[in-house]
A and B are shown apart, each in its own frame.
Chain A
Amino acid sequence: MQQFVNLTLGGVIIGAVYAAFALALVLIWRSTRIVNFAQGAMAALTTFIALSLIEGGQSYWVGLAVALVAGLVIGAVVERVVIRPVEGGPELNAVIVTLGLFIAIQALISVLFGVNQRAFVAPFSTIGFRAGDFTLALSPNTLFTLGAVLLVMVGLIALFRFTRVGLAMRASAFGQEVARLLGVRVGRMLTLGWALAAVVGSLAGMLIAAEVTFVAPTFMDSLIVFGFVAAVLGGLDSPIGAVVGGLLLGLALSYVRGYIDDTLVGLAALVILVVVLLVRPGGLFSTTQTRRA
């Protein structure tokens, strides 16, 4: 029973981070029909920028703020400079470009920060709360992780639902040409979409770094896989789907880790991906019937 409770808690927490990461992928997919495979590397870069600030004596919060702003800038620049030329072209071109970007950014991190593992200290205590004589897999730091993800989700939903910019972004996502005819600055909306996605990705990077406590240039590689599976599980088009997909995946993988074997987690994620694509290729929450694969 204790094990079940802790696996569930652990699953929800890691699932929340997957959800944030999946959300970043969905934001970009919705507006540009591109899966950004460089998302993990971009987040690793901003995490390393924050880490060097923290190691240099700045507080965690300065590091976090800088990581988020750096994410915003990197996301916008990447869209404008690298992605814009392949937007609207064949999907394969965009895939190759984001994969190339992934490799390039990872190499850049190694050049700038070295390839060694470095310790990442969590902003809050990672010692679990106690319930009677047993320790829960829930600590002040995991509460912070959950809260941060929740805050970002609510913020994004509010942005999309209730603001004019959100409306223009959604319109651009559903029909660029029509939106343009109505006077929406579609190019700006796409840039903003990538920038926001990169901010969410950066946040996920900072949160996962505090959970795993050691970071290397490749530390986000598994998260891009899990985030992608979560996004597909939720239907790639649906932000709510990304969140639910992330939580479901987090739980499933946590149970696999606890009850079966730690080494099977990656395999389990891919099995889930294959099953979803076979049984319900539109995902659990897909809003559009026709999805371009």
Chain B
Amino acid sequence: MGTLAQPPDTTGSSTPYEDRSPTARLEMTGISVAFGGIKALTDVSLTVEPGQVHGLIGPNGAGKTTMFNVACGLVRNTEGRITWRGEELRRLRPAQLSKLGIARTLQGVGLFPGLTVLENVMVGAHKHARAGFFSALFAIPTSDKDDARLRERAMTSLAELDADGYAARYPGSLPYPVQKRVALARALVAEPELLLLDEPASGLSEEEMRELGDLISHLSGRMSVLLVEHHMDLVMRVCDQITVLDSGKQIAAGTPAEVQNDPAVTEAYLGDAVDDTTDVSELAGIDGGTQRG
């Protein structure tokens, strides 16, 4: 994973990433989601600026994943609007994402177990194949060329994540961090304009997490990133903007420095623990005040 911090090879047009400055902005305004009577999100707004990394953080159950799933059409918002590339997305379905230039990774890995690493990444590049359904089905020559190009793109993407050595292996036989890199290669091969990362650092070591941070910073010049993550040091390091959720409500937003110094954020992260201590102490007849640190 040592090559991640290096700039991409842009010498040939066959590399998956052509130099382009991202221009697309994702705006989510006044998003509310209710599951039955329970409000999972109440009036949350965030904007992922072009080429920026936007962090979405909050304690467990704050609604991060729900917000994330609204962004990719897995969860329908009951109120609010989503605008992408200046157009409102209505009734967004997950299958439309790749056409819209949006890619997401899944919590965990989500690789296809019965497909090789290379094939997994090739599925990610699916939308770039030109041949139609039937010419591909009957293996008409244009489609053969297509397949070769697809294969090449996938290899380049794997190489950029230093995982090309595993191309012929099956995901199940690889260590978890390698699988995560393959999953990332699969998301990147589609050349997304917006990358949705769902807890990419889970299960990684300190070292791997630092390399992941380098990679995300490096990607941000080429695409916008929405990052859901609970490793605070990673978030603080790579994000340009951060939105903090607690109990489905937005409690803070701003740059990492602003958010870090926001008393509401400290309260959300530490407040619960303090309250718990108090409750237990009071029940036990001990003065809770001395326990607060």
Chain B associates with chain A: yes
Known contacts A170-B112, A183-B127, A288-B114: A165-B99 contact under CB 8 Å: no
Residue B72 interfacial (CB < 8 Å):
yes
Residue A182 interfacial (CB < 8 Å):
yes
A179 and B99 alpha carbons, distance in the complex (Å): 13
Residue A291 interfacial (CB < 8 Å):
no
Considering residues B139, B147, B150, B186, which has the most beta carbons from chain A within 10 angstroms of its beta carbon? B139
Residue A180 interfacial (CB < 8 Å):
yes
Residue A168 interfacial (CB < 8 Å):
yes
Interchain CB contact under 8 A, A179 and B114? no
Interchain CB contact under 8 A, B112 and A164? no
Known contacts A163-B137, A182-B186: A168-B112 contact under CB 8 Å: no
A164 and B120 alpha carbons, distance in the complex (Å): 12
Residue B123 interfacial (CB < 8 Å):
yes
Residue B106 interfacial (CB < 8 Å):
yes
Known contacts A159-B137, A174-B112, A288-B114: A167-B122 contact under CB 8 Å: yes
Residue B94 interfacial (CB < 8 Å):
yes
Q: Nearest Cβ distance between residue B50 and chain A, in whole angstroms? A: 22
Interchain CB contact under 8 A, A174 and B72? no
Residue B42 interfacial (CB < 8 Å):
no
B contacts with A: majority SS: helix
User: Of B7-15, B82-90, B128-136, which stretch is located at the interface?
Assistant: B128-136
Interchain CB contact under 8 A, B94 and A177? yes
Considering residues A170, A178, A179, A188, which has the most beta carbons from chain B within 10 angstroms of its beta carbon? A178
A37 and B150 alpha carbons, distance in the complex (Å): 38
| Chain A, range 168-214, C-beta contacts under 8 Å to B | 168, 170-171, 173-175, 177-186, 188, 192
Residue B213 interfacial (CB < 8 Å):
no
Known contacts A164-B131, A165-B136, A165-B137: A183-B126 contact under CB 8 Å: yes
Residue A134 interfacial (CB < 8 Å):
no
Residue B1 interfacial (CB < 8 Å):
no
A interface residues, tally (CB under 8 Å):
27
Count class of interface residues, chain B = 20 to 34
Residue A112 interfacial (CB < 8 Å):
no
Interchain CB contact under 8 A, A184 and B147? no
Interchain CB contact under 8 A, B94 and A180? yes
Residue A274 interfacial (CB < 8 Å):
no
Interchain CB contact under 8 A, A183 and B119? no
Residue A158 interfacial (CB < 8 Å):
yes
Interchain CB contact under 8 A, A158 and B139? yes
Interchain CB contact under 8 A, A183 and B95? yes
Residue A125 interfacial (CB < 8 Å):
no
Interchain CB contact under 8 A, A164 and B115? no
A167 and B113 alpha carbons, distance in the complex (Å): 13
What 0/1 readout, one digit per residue, does chain B (61-95) give for beta carbons within 8 Å of chain A?
00000000000100000000000000000000011
Known contacts A164-B146, A174-B115, A288-B114: A182-B190 contact under CB 8 Å: yes
Interchain CB contact under 8 A, B126 and A174? no
Residue B249 interfacial (CB < 8 Å):
no
Interchain CB contact under 8 A, B112 and A175? yes
Contacts of B186 in A (CB 8 A): 182
Residue A287 interfacial (CB < 8 Å):
yes
Q: Nearest Cβ distance between residue B84 and chain A, in whole angstroms? A: 16
What 0/1 readout, one digit per residue, does chain A (2-36) give for beta carbons within 8 Å of chain B?
00000000000000000000000000000000000
Contacts of A158 in B (CB 8 A): 139
Q: Nearest Cβ distance between residue B85 and chain A, in whole angstroms? A: 17
A186 and B72 alpha carbons, distance in the complex (Å): 17
Considering residues A164, A170, A288, which has the most beta carbons from chain B within 10 angstroms of its beta carbon? A164
A183 and B99 alpha carbons, distance in the complex (Å): 7
A159 and B139 alpha carbons, distance in the complex (Å): 8
Residue B104 interfacial (CB < 8 Å):
yes
Interchain CB contact under 8 A, B143 and A164? yes
Q: Which of B103, B126, B139, B146 contacts A184 (CB 8 A)?
A: B126
Contacts of A163 in B (CB 8 A): 136-137, 139, 143, 147
A167 and B137 alpha carbons, distance in the complex (Å): 11
B interface with A by C-beta (< 8 Å): 72, 94-95, 97-99, 103-104, 106, 110, 112-115, 119-120, 122-124, 126-127, 129, 131, 133, 136-137, 139, 143, 146-147, 150, 186, 190
A interface with B by C-beta (< 8 Å): 158-159, 162-165, 167-168, 170-171, 173-175, 177-186, 188, 192, 287-288
19 extra A-B contacts, CB within 8 A, seeds A158-B139, A175-B110: A163-B139, A163-B147, A164-B143, A164-B146, A165-B137, A170-B112, A171-B112, A174-B115, A178-B106, A181-B98, A182-B123, A182-B126, A183-B99, A184-B123, A185-B95, A186-B95, A287-B114, A288-B113, A288-B114
Which A-B residue pairs are the 7 nearest by beta carbons? A183-B98, A174-B112, A171-B123, A183-B127, A164-B136, A180-B95, A165-B136
